[in-house]
Structure 1
Amino acid sequence: MHLLIAEDSQRISATLAKGLRESEYDVTVVGKGSDALTCFNNRKPDLILLDLGLPDMDGLDVLNRIRETDPILPVILITARDKIDDRVRGLDAGADDYLVKPFAFAELQARIRALLRRGKKPADTTIKIADLEIDPVRRKVDRAGCSIELTPREFDILYFLASRTGEPVPREMLAREVLQTASHSVSYDNIIDVHISNLRKKIDTGAPVKLLHTLRGIGFTLEERS
């Protein structure tokens, strides 16, 4: 992880850099706001420790410039300004955290770890089958780059089938796991058939490769067949 320290006190920045490097962070240190912006533009850090009292420009001006291009980069303000109004202005300007000097290095480390955990990108959970893409986080479905509008129940059925690509999925399993009923009856079979029919129209109509298949006497499967 690359951390950028913008602090005009060489004593403080050297102490912070030494401790953070010992914690295996890649650290860049600058003493001016203009240098902080240059480093930010040249090599985007994973987190910034930003002093408000920089010699050439106020730290809040630096923060505002950063937020113009990156609204989510973790930024911790480190400053001797301890008034409530100063903290409020810093947080309202887009800082993620605010530490008043002097502070315990262990506390700084804990806050850095918390922000870096929060900033981690979630693993890509999108399921791809041929040119069909199913995003369970945004509940979004695309085929060949075109968005497909599904009802909530249609999405649930499609995602359940996609998570078992190539496997036969019995009607009873769909009834139990998706419709959440323990019973298996003709009425539920009809409901499933209606949803499957609508799904087939939406994802397979006009497509060169059909993906949703009926397995007679068994159920359904979602797969690309050669």
Structure 2
Amino acid sequence: MIVETMSYEEIAREYDKIHDSIFPRSKERIDCQGMRRYLLKHKNEENVWFKQLDYKVDHNTTFCVLPFTPGWKAFQRYGCHPYVKVYLIYLTSKGYMLLVRGGEKDDEYAFFTSHLFDRYRERELRDLSMDKREVIKEFFKHNGDICSVPFPIEKYPDNQLGITGKGVIFIQKITDKIWLNKTYIRRDQLQEGQFEAAMCTEEGMAYALEQRKRIQELLLKYPYQHMHINYF
């Protein structure tokens, strides 16, 4: 059970227990034949996301398995089976937090704040009425691959930027294996004037105000690339 007084490390360990208990069983509920029938009728459709499987851990915690495929050919190459994105949602006093495990050795943890998804809903989807869980699904559908690059500054020497297909995520290092994804801006918000307006609404992000040009340079140096670090 996850409680708000737990550290990030303790929550990560709790995630491991939940994942090991639920994920193996979830494979039985993935309707590969139904997905195959759908894709046979829609062979040209790309980036197909299927119905999410939710497993209620307790009143405040849900383990989610979200099947998807880049398309029919990828589905065939993967043995007529989808990729799945796996994550944990848990409720805190500040809203829903989300946790994903990934990395080359599947031993790194990425926390996403409720605030990040609020900003994504406001800035990218522009639909404040959309349910938070649908916002999360839309976020991963378009930003599931994150290219993390170092973004050190004097006060936060271990910070990183997450470059996605549509925007930029500001990431804080917690430990060598744990990262906190704090907020999101669209790429076009890096224009002068827009960036200042966006950052002024972000609590604790004043340090970024002077970094606009540097962020633009990083985007040119590290163009967005597919890094499937969170696919299982």
User: Considering the TM-score relative to the shorter chain, is it more than 0.5?
Assistant: no
Normalization by structure 1: what TM-score?
Answer: 0.23
**Larger strand fraction of residues:** 2
Which one has a bigger Cα radius of gyration? 1
Structure number with higher relative contact order (C-alpha < 8 Å, ≥ 6 residues apart): 2
Per the normalisation by structure 2, the TM-score is 0.23
